[in-house]
């Protein structure tokens, strides 16, 4: 596939204007992007071209019926200067799982991987080497075909764009356990990385921010009794020395970082339970002094420790531990990602 990808390079790179020591997350964009079009029943015209605005008709169905999905990935540099990816085929599989649910044509793995790798070769200089930084990768697919009729489009775009980025969250994160709004419902699209899922989160999250919190802890849509996700991430809760996370479902994203944490924790002989956990159980553990940690897990932040949470007008602080699981697990994952440790799982992929 790589030999068929057309490459149009930018006339003059803007990289010299970027301060790689002060990178906000996802706000500075690399020189190029990969695009591919689904038309006449097939994916075609793969091209790497300068990062620039795209032109769409006002009748493009993305604007009217929300057929839009995305992924989040990262590229790293190791000490030898190799470009590394972390479990990229899992991202491709999940993108296609989302595509199926939103009736978007699935992208062949070779088209996805070849386009991604060629893009990283072209923009290799944009991959940060500073500690804690990486090249954030955003593949997304959307309906570009036209029409006001409420039906799937006949044309789609895949775009992969990248952004050199620093840390996603800085400082301590304080969250509010949600009692009214739900992120997703049974039979819905909560398991898919659909753009609309995130748009619907903004309002309750904003309400939480106005109360002094950083994010929302989502509970189940029916009773609001069970913990499900942390903002846009999966959530882990440590009670005594057991790490608990909710099982995936129609409502919960099958997080790649989540799966990695479970595997690494089990191999470290940390007790891991994948089960439903109620708000009342978390409150009881906090009151008894047994609630040791809560943290979010996702590609952007990797692991984001939670310093405290609010529920029904009361606030609960989590203890500051000398060797929290969050720190141990984050180091284990990032060391694999950046080739500072062995990768017994085959997760690390070198871009050649």
> For the segment 5-51, what is each residue's pLDDT rounded down to a tens digit?
999 999 999 999 999 999 999 999 999 999 999 999 999 999 999 99
Does pLDDT of 169 surpass 80? no
Same domain for 59 and 85?
Answer: yes
Question: Which of 115, 139, 165 is the last residue in one of the domains?
Answer: 165
Range of the domain at 129: 2-165
Cα 236 to Cα 246: distance, rounded to the nearest angstrom: 8
Q: Which two tokens stand for residue 116?
A: 């991604």
Tokens of 232: 């846009």
- Cα dihedral sign, 59-61-62-66: positive
Q: Which residues pair with 72 in a beta bridge?
A: none
Using N-to-C axis directions, what is the helix angle for 109-122 and 88-101, rounded to 10°? 130
Identify whether residues 161 and 103 lie together within a single domain: yes
Q: Is residue 346 part of a domain?
A: no
For the segment 152-167, what is each residue's pLDDT rounded down to a tens digit? 999 999 999 999 999 8
Does residue 344 lie in a domain region?
A: no
The angle at the Cα of 245, spanning 242 to 249, to the nearest 5 degrees, equals 155
Q: Are residues 105 and 126 in the same domain?
A: yes
What's the pLDDT at 135?
A: 98
Q: Which residues pair with 289 in a beta bridge?
A: none
Average pLDDT over residues 203-225: 96
Whether the per-residue pLDDT at 239 is higher than 80: the answer is yes
| Tens of pLDDT, residues 245-291 | 999 999 999 999 999 999 999 999 999 999 999 999 999 999 999 99
Q: Helices 88-101 and 256-267 sit at what angle, rounded to 10 degrees?
A: 140
Q: Tell me, yes or no, whether 314 lies in a domain.
A: yes
In a domain, 348, yes or no: no
Enumerate the β-bridge partners of residue 308.
174, 317
| E-strand stretches of 78-149 | 83-86, 134-143
Asked if residue 83 is part of any domain, the answer here is yes
What are the pLDDT digits (tens) for 85-125?
999 999 999 999 999 999 999 999 999 999 999 999 999 99
Same domain, 182 and 150: no
Domain boundary among 114, 140, 165: 165
216 within a domain of the structure (yes/no): yes
Token match 């769409």: residue?
A: 56
Single residue among 113, 142, 165 that ends a domain in this structure? 165
Please report, rounded to a whole number, the percentage of residues in the chain having pLDDT higher than 90.
96
Cβ proximity of 132 and 19 under 8 Å? no
Instruction: State yes or no: pLDDT of 2 exceeds 70.
Output: no
Cα distance between residue 315 and residue 175, in whole Å: 10
What is each CA distance from 97 to 42, 103, 194, 224, in whole angstroms?
A: 18, 10, 11, 27
Q: What's the pLDDT at 193?
A: 97
Using CA atoms, how far residue 5 sits from 36, 111, 115, 117, 344, in Å, is: 9, 9, 7, 11, 33
Q: Are residues 143 and 209 in the same domain?
A: no
| Rounded Cα–Cα distance for residues 143 and 103 (Å) | 10
Shared domain check, 184 and 136 = no
Same domain as 298, residue 271: yes
User: Which positions ≥6 away from 336 have C-beta within 8 Å?
Assistant: 86, 342, 343, 345, 347, 348
The first and second tokens of residue 337, run together, are 């990602």
The verdict on 136 and 238 lying in the same domain is no
How many domains is the chain built from? 2
Q: Give the residue-averaged pLDDT of 236-240.
A: 98
Nearest to 217 by CA among 175, 187, 248: 175
Angstrom distances, CA of residue 221 to CA of 42, 187, 335 = 38, 11, 37
User: For the domain that residue 257 is a member of, what is the CATH number?
Assistant: 3.20.10.10
156 and 220 part of one domain:
no
Note whether 197 and 135 are same-domain residues.
Answer: no
CATH of the domain at 151: 3.30.470.10
CA–CA gap between residue 162 and residue 42 (Å, rounded): 25
Residue 347 lies in a domain: no
Residue 213 and residue 89 share a domain: no
**For 29, left (φ over 0), alpha (ψ -120 to 50), or beta?**
beta
pLDDT at 3: 52
Overall average pLDDT of the 118-140 stretch = 96
Would you state the structure tokens that stand for residue 240, as one six-digit string?
């005594």
Among 281, 282, 287, 313, residue whose Cα is nearest residue 213: 313
Closest CA to 272 of 329, 322, 228, 217: 329
Residues 198 and 68 reside in one and the same domain: no
Burial readout 77-104 (b: 16 or more C-beta within 10 A, e: otherwise): beeeeebbbbbbebbbbbbbebbebbeb
pLDDT at 1 over 50: no
Length of the chain equals 352
What average pLDDT does this structure show over 49-74?
98
Q: Find the mean pLDDT for residues 334-338.
A: 97
Cα dihedral sign, 85-87-93-96: negative
Asked if residue 190 belongs to a domain, the reply is yes
């Amino acid at each position: 596939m790589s030999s068929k990808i057309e490459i149009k390079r930018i006339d003059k790179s803007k990289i010299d204007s970027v301060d790689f020591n002060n990178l906000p997350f996802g706000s500075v964009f690399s020189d190029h992007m990969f695009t591919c079009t689904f038309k006449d029943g097939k994916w075609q015209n793969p091209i790497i071209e300068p990062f620039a605005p795209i032109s769409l008709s006002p009748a493009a169905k993305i604007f009217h019926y929300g057929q839009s999905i995305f992924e989040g990935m990262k590229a790293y540099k190791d000490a030898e200067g190799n470009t590394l990816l972390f479990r990229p085929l899992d991202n491709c599989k999940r993108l296609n799982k989302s595509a199926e649910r939103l009736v978007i044509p699935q992208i062949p793995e070779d088209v996805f991987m070849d386009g991604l790798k060629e893009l990283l070769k072209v923009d290799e200089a944009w991959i940060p080497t500073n500690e804690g930084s990486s090249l954030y990768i955003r593949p997304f697919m959307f309906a570009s075909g036209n029409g006001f009729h409420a039906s799937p489009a006949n044309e789609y775009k895949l775009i992969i764009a990248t952004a050199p980025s620093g840390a996603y969250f800085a400082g301590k994160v304080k969250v509010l356990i949600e009692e009214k709004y739900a992120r997703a419902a049974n039979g819905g699209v909560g398991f898919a990385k659909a753009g609309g899922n995130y748009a619907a989160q903004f309002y309750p999250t904003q309400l939480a921010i106005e109360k002094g919190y950083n994010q929302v802890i989502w509970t189940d849509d029916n009773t609001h009794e069970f913990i499900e996700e942390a903002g846009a991430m999966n959530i882990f809760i440590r009670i005594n020395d057991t790490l608990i996370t909710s099982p995936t479902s129609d409502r919960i994203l099958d997080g790649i970082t989540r799966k990695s944490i479970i595997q690494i924790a089990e191999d470290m002989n940390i007790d891991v339970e994948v089960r439903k956990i109620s708000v009342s159980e978390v409150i009881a553990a906090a009151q008894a002094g047994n609630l040791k940690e809560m943290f979010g897990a996702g590609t952007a932040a990797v692991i984001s420790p939670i310093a405290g949470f609010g529920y029904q007008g009361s606030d609960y602080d989590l203890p500051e531990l000398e060797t929290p699981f969050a720190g141990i697990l984050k180091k284990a994952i990032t060391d694999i990602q950046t080739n500072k440790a062995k990768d017994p799982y085959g997760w690390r992929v070198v871009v050649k």
